[in-house]
Structure 1
């Protein structure tokens, strides 16, 4: 069968085991590198035809990867960028520094991948097993970037690092973004355990970099870097000052920026990218800063033109939610004359998250910031429990706070229009999947 459209290519890859939808036990049978390497051997190892930078972490992976890619492009390179998940379009996963690739190229590479893997078999001691959807996405990205003639590719891990399909790379640098408690049932229930999984993208003799970390996570990363004889650059050791609009490094150099994606978290992601690019000799402030300032991603404080001022953000951990709401309130502050929980704080929150997240902590963050909250199902891609979230928020609301449940994104948006003024801002948060269904509802 020959694919005619990219939708058909996606359908082909999706019919394999999709661990983004169904998270199996983190075992070396399901998550493994030898099967991925066998796939790449069949394809001629396209990932070795260009230089790569590998990015892992709990939060900020996509933003940091995008800043690094933008910096490389500013230096004149053709740069592939591989990220997951997508918000509303599968093409978001495989781009040329954020720019969509033509359908013709996507279909051509999809046909190459499928034809090369006809008859592919991989066996272990338990018998034959097939590739996963994420392995095929990753193989597709590696093939695509070779086909497009990329000189660099910035590659984001899917889950963890140690057994992630992307970890067959031998990158020019490994980058670890902030580590938080997430996917605890798979990666471990402590920061140290999660950091250990992610630290395994650090390669022998290759430089490694880290964002600001908890002491527990940082100790693990430093230890792995020493074991691998990797020069380890920690942002906290190099950045003497860092705020939303500037960073000052220990060598006295300083850089000011006005990022398209607001907030201190994005400034930290940008500063980490600058540290990586500077260290690799791939940074020229006269062109690089402008490129970094222009980076804007779907689902990261993404401003949408609608009947209200609407922002979409995929924050889905306690810390990222707290930082997001701090950024939101810096843009839309509550007047000092308005007391908390009186029902007068401007703004509406549409909130929804998938199963397995720390709903308790995120619920408290949302309740501390908004008086109007709409609980919504974040699509059907992953399991979720909007009724349970609604009940939790309802049990914790204060006098003057309104909490409602709306099953669909379209009904949530309709409630917002009926129960808010034209001037009230709206924030949809808790999941990239929620951002996706909100966008879909707006389009239709």
Structure 2
């Protein structure tokens, strides 16, 4: 049996583009495999710009806390592809993944198909063959033409929509919201997180045309943090819960979407588990062991994969909640992102930024380009040849610093691999 890595590398060559947003190829392959998308446990489909993964992680913890089992599909992975596919709560094993990928490759017959499309089909095939109570699907990009948008969900969720992937989704928040709202289905309820007014109008218009009931933040449900507790209220009543285990005020809003979803699914008894038990790597994650932690010495080491202006604002807010320490960024970003927009909210929170390139990523900004973006955003910046060199420099200059590695999930994945 060939390893999944070998097969995945082969699948990368089936289409000249990494992203090509149409659904024809996915529908063709699903038909060749006898339509696994019609045989899934009830689906909860999640789209949005920021917070999809964290929301899915909390929702999975909540449903499992209520006694249910969940398949889950997320992207991208951080260290290993297997992270994208969970079968009834457990990461898919190597032999099962290799078999599925080979089966999909054979059924595809060498026809053009993108890497994300064929691996999404492999995930749906796995989910259709294994028992679970729920299938949780995170949209890869957009929604309307995303490879996951081939299902008939029981519930949809749209997390906050903001500017990102403009080259594929449109250059206004209204156009992007229209793509995200493409996951709405006739008569299927949708939980809607906090939105800019322009985005919400687009979502409401689409929902009205489909007769899809909406559960909208600020209208149908409210969430806040009060005296160290999370307070959720809707027409059913008030819930007083522990705060989310995941760090940042944006996680309070994500938690609100999760509780609204659990209520809609008649699984509110899982709300406390959703707050206490969710784990989502590289989202304000404190690293506590490994060679990079050793290189940091007495400094704190944190990791975050956010990469757009809204994520930068959320990160700045999260840093403001931590005990005061000199904070340094080690930042690497892709050239498809608004680097200056991402860094601008962080300018008042950090002492200095070290720019690095992302190893093995053709679309990385160079360390010099990252530093130039930082200076444009009002930060002082220094180039570094690697994450480890930057950490060593910071810990030598400021032994009790807070060091945050940030700017890209691809960088975060590399860090988790290097740090063991």
Is TM > 0.5 for Structure 1 vs Structure 2?
Answer: yes
The answer to whether residue 90 in structure 2 is matched with residue 93 in structure 1 is no
Contact in 2 for aligned 1:73/1:97 (Cα 8 Å): no
My pick for the range that moved more, 412-421 or 364-373, is 412-421
Please name the residue that 1:427 is paired with. 404
Please name the residue that 1:246 is paired with. 230
Q: CA offsets per residue over residues 390-434 of structure 1, 9 Å max, x none?
A: 124346657xx5x2111333333332333330x222111111112
Contact in 2 for aligned 1:18/1:133 (Cα 8 Å): no
Alpha-carbon distance in structure 2 between the residues aligned to 1:239 and 1:208: 13
Q: What displacement does 1:322 show?
A: 1.5
Please name the residue that 1:267 is paired with. 252
Please name the residue that 1:302 is paired with. 285
Select 2:5's aligned residue among 4, 7, 19: 7
Q: How does 1:33-432 map to 2 (within 5 A)?
A: 33-49=23-39, 50-96=41-87, 99-117=90-108, 119=109, 121=111, 130-243=112-225, 245-251=229-235, 252-284=237-269, 287-305=270-288, 306-307=293-294, 308-333=299-324, 346-386=326-366, 387-394=368-375, 401=380, 403-421=381-399, 423-432=400-409
Alpha-carbon distance in structure 2 between the residues aligned to 1:179 and 1:88: 27
Alpha-carbon distance in structure 2 between the residues aligned to 1:9 and 1:247: 47
Contact in 1 for aligned 2:395/2:401 (Cα 8 Å): no
| TM-score relative to the length of structure 2 | 0.91
Q: Aligned to 1:236, what secondary structure does the other structure show?
A: coil
Distance 1:77 1:12, change over 3 A: farther
Q: Aligned to 1:150, what secondary structure does the other structure show?
A: coil
Contact in 1 for aligned 2:47/2:159 (Cα 8 Å): yes
Alpha-carbon distance in structure 2 between the residues aligned to 1:230 and 1:357: 33
Alpha-carbon distance in structure 2 between the residues aligned to 1:266 and 1:97: 25
Alpha-carbon distance in structure 2 between the residues aligned to 1:433 and 1:18: 21
Structure 1 residues without counterparts, runs of 5 or longer: 24-29, 122-129, 334-344
Q: What displacement does 1:82 show?
A: 0.6
Alpha-carbon distance in structure 2 between the residues aligned to 1:43 and 1:18: 24
Contact in 1 for aligned 2:355/2:384 (Cα 8 Å): yes
My pick for the range that moved more, 75-84 or 376-385, is 376-385
Query: How many residues get paired?
Result: 407
Please name the residue that 2:22 is paired with. 32
Alpha-carbon distance in structure 1 between the residues aligned to 2:394 and 2:343: 19
Q: CA offsets per residue over residues 273-311 of structure 1, 9 Å max, x none?
A: 110120122221xx4412442111111111112133211
Contact in 2 for aligned 1:351/1:374 (Cα 8 Å): yes
Please name the residue that 1:127 is paired with. none
Please name the residue that 1:340 is paired with. none
Q: Aligned to 2:419, what secondary structure does the other structure show?
A: helix
My pick for the range that moved more, 359-368 or 269-278, is 359-368
Alpha-carbon distance in structure 1 between the residues aligned to 2:321 and 2:361: 33
Contact in 2 for aligned 1:260/1:295 (Cα 8 Å): yes
Distance 1:18 1:324, change over 3 A: farther
Alpha-carbon distance in structure 2 between the residues aligned to 1:116 and 1:425: 50
Q: What displacement does 1:438 show?
A: 2.1
Contact in 1 for aligned 2:356/2:370 (Cα 8 Å): no
Structure 2 residues without counterparts, runs of 5 or longer: none
Q: Aligned to 1:200, what secondary structure does the other structure show?
A: helix
Contact in 1 for aligned 2:70/2:87 (Cα 8 Å): yes
The answer to whether residue 10 in structure 2 is matched with residue 17 in structure 1 is no
Q: What displacement does 1:382 show?
A: 4.6
